Amino acid sequence: MKLISFVIPSRNNKKYLEWSYDSIRKNLGYSHEILLADDFSTDGTWEYLQEVKDKDINVQIFRNEGPERKGIVYWYDFLCEKATNDIVMFLHADMYACPKMDEMVLKHLIPGTVVSATRIEPELHPPGPEKITQDFGIEPEEFKEQELMNYLNSDKDFQHKETSNGIFAPWAIYKEDYEKVGGHDKLFAPQSKEDSDIFNRMHLLGYKFVQTWEGYVYHMTSRGSRFNPMAGGAPGKDSPEWIHTTTKNMRNFIRKWGTMVQHDEMMKPIVSPKYDIGFVIENCDTNMLKELEPWCSDIYGDWVGHKGYGVNGYIKEEQPNTLIDLSKKIHSDHIEPKNDIVVRFDANKLNVNNFQIIVKLSDILQESGEVGEMELEIFKFNIKSMKTYEKELKVCV
């Protein structure tokens, strides 16, 4: 059997990390490499990792001395570079590797393919057809391990399905393929939406997505940050840290891809066309600017009347949340737009219903757009070119 390098960063997640590490060694053996990173934890994680390294020769450990966390966007790329095996698997620190999970993943993994194990998890997130919703505990101390083993050994309907198409953690890939896609995009540091971004890029590169329904992890569900008590979260309660990172990076995802995250019911990515769109807006105050700015390549308006907070205040507040230079994106309406597609509208006429046209604009243009002028509700379009740019995003440089 080929060997895997498991990549597991962790921050203030010691008890889950212990549980996850023990599951790999207990159920998958001691041959696979495990790369563990402590991202400036304060819960004794580093001391634990040193103990693990002392007894396990196939473990590499790394530490962020702080004072700021680096995040999984940094650690995934760093640990993948340090991996010594040809295959890497990205496993969250709150995931328990079930017996033969590695064998079932490797059964389907070839170059140009990404293989995900099937998650079994409690109902802390909405159920979906790509996972199995069963509660065997949400804390290591209450984990019902024998009940999980009995469940896996029983004759369940899901065990009669070998594979489906989709991608999510935990996923395995040849290290060479990971490097071809350019790793994770720093735009999404420290975390959140980084997985959807890299999955989109893999899709554009033509990688095949395989989910094995014969290999499993039990997932205690977002214990790393979102529901981690040390980050201010609780079971089913988002931490303030998570709310901040997921909000800013959803905005960054829209800026980059022109849409929100999209996938089918089995979690296979859907990538819409990316157009070069400029908004020219009347009566756009800074509250509306905040709502509209991510949805276009450039935005033009009469900002002269803005007082107090103003456009400069918006840029000063928002720029720390993105690597995209907002000062080069926000323009006066006296500047002639050079975008392929120019959309003019009055912000005073914008409402919840017609805002959905902006949300779905990529797909609307793909279906109905053509060079020339057109109107749709409050929006006036001047389409100079229908060129699309999503393929230019497929490799992160």
**For 190-204, what is each residue's pLDDT tens digit?**
999 999 999 999 999
312, two tokens: 């400069």
Write out pLDDT tens, residues 330-383.
998 889 999 999 999 999 999 999 999 999 999 999 999 999 999 999 999 999
The per-residue pLDDT for 160 is: 64
Same domain as 316, residue 238: no
Look at residue 265 and tell me if it is in a domain: no
Q: In what side-by-side order are the strands of the sheet with 341-346?
A: 330-332, 298-301, 277-282, 341-346, 379-383, 372-376
- Dihedral sign for Cα atoms in the order 125, 45, 50, 178: positive
**Could you tell me if residue 287 is inside a domain?**
yes
Are both 219 and 354 inside the same structural domain?
A: no
Residue predicted with more confidence, 397 or 260: 260
Predicted confidence (pLDDT) at residue 305 exceeds the cutoff of 70: no
In the predicted model, is pLDDT for residue 225 greater than 80? Answer: no
For residues 151 and 53, membership in a common domain is answered with yes
Q: Are residues 331 and 366 in the same domain?
A: yes
Closest CA to 170 of 59, 54, 48, 28: 28
The pLDDT of 65-93, averaged and rounded, is 96
Using the CB atoms, write b or e for 61-77: b if 16+ within 10 Å.
bbebeeeebbbbbbbbb
The count of structural domains within the chain is 2
Q: What is the pLDDT of residue 126?
A: 83
Expressed as residue numbers, the domain containing 335 is 277-393
In whole angstroms, what is the distance from residue 207 CA to residue 177 CA? 9
Report percent pLDDT > 70 for the chain.
Answer: 94
Angle between helices 194-204 and 72-82 (to 10 degrees): 50
Q: Which pLDDT belongs to residue 250?
A: 98
What's residue 110's pLDDT? Answer: 98
Q: Are residues 244 and 384 in the same domain?
A: no
**289 and 244 co-located in one domain:** no
Please, are residues 6 and 61 in contact by the beta-carbon 8 Å criterion?
no
Residues 352 and 230 in one domain: no
Q: Given a cut of 60, is residue 306 above it in pLDDT?
A: no
E strand or H helix at 362: helix 361-368
Q: Are residues 383 and 248 in the same domain?
A: no
User: Quick check: is 268 in a domain?
Assistant: no
20-34 pLDDT, tens per residue? 999 999 999 999 999
pLDDT score of 194: 97
pLDDT tens-digit readout, 178-187: 999 999 999 9
Contacts of 116 (CB under 8 A, 6+ apart): 105, 166, 167, 168, 169, 170, 171, 172, 209, 210, 211, 212
Q: Indicate whether 192 and 281 sit together in one domain.
A: no
Ranking 52-66, 95-109, 215-229 by mean pLDDT, the lowest is 215-229
Higher per-residue confidence, 157 vs 261: 261
Residue 157 pLDDT level (bands cut at 50, 70, 90): low
What's the pLDDT at 309?
65
pLDDT at 241: 85
In a domain, 337, yes or no: yes
Neighbouring C-beta atoms of residue 307, cutoff 10 Å? 8
Sign of CA pseudo-dihedral 207, 397, 192, 261: negative
Assess if residue 266 is contained within a domain: no
For residue 227, pLDDT beyond 90: no
Beta carbons within 8 Å of 383's beta carbon, 6+ residues apart: 340, 341, 365, 369, 370, 371, 372, 373, 374
**CATH number where 126 lies:** 3.90.550.10
CA dist., res. 220 & res. 359, Å (int)? 33
**Which amino acid makes up residue 304?**
V
Query: Is 267 within the bounds of a domain?
Result: no
Residue 237 has a pLDDT of 74
Predicted local confidence at residue 238, as pLDDT: 79
- At residue 125 the predicted structure's pLDDT band, cuts being 50, 70 and 90, is confident
According to the model, what pLDDT value does residue 25 have?
A: 98
- Judged on CB neighbours under 10 Å (0-12, 13-18, 19+), 250 is middle
Tens of pLDDT along 236-293? 677 888 889 999 999 999 999 999 999 999 999 999 999 999 999 999 988 899 999 9
The one-letter code for the residue type at 159 is: Q
Task: Give dist(CA 107, CA 110) in Å, integer.
Answer: 9
Q: Tell me: pLDDT of 147 over 60.
A: yes
Question: CA 232, CA 397: separation in Å to the nearest integer?
Answer: 35
pLDDT of residue 1: 80
- pLDDT tens-digit map of 386-396: 999 999 999 99
Total number of residues shown for the chain: 397
- Helix, strand and coil percent figures for the chain, each rounded to 5: 35, 20, 40
Q: What is the mean pLDDT of the chain?
A: 93
Among residues of the chain, what percentage have pLDDT more than 90? 84
Instruction: Tell me whether residue 31 is in a domain.
Output: yes
Task: Determine how many CB atoms are found less than 10 A away from the CB of residue 367.
Answer: 8
Mean pLDDT of all residues in 70-89? 97
What was the pLDDT predicted at 69?
92
DSSP state of 328: G
- Kindly state whether residue 86 falls inside one of the protein's structural domains: yes
The predicted model gives 174-181 an average pLDDT of: 98
* Pair (294, 246) in one structural domain: no
Query: Do both 239 and 181 map to the same domain?
Result: yes
User: For residues 302 and 178, what is the distance between their CA atoms, to the nearest angstrom?
Assistant: 45
Say which range, 49-63, 206-220, 306-320, has the weakest mean pLDDT: 306-320
Preceding peptide of 269 cis, ω within 30°: no
Co-location of 213 and 295 in the same domain = no
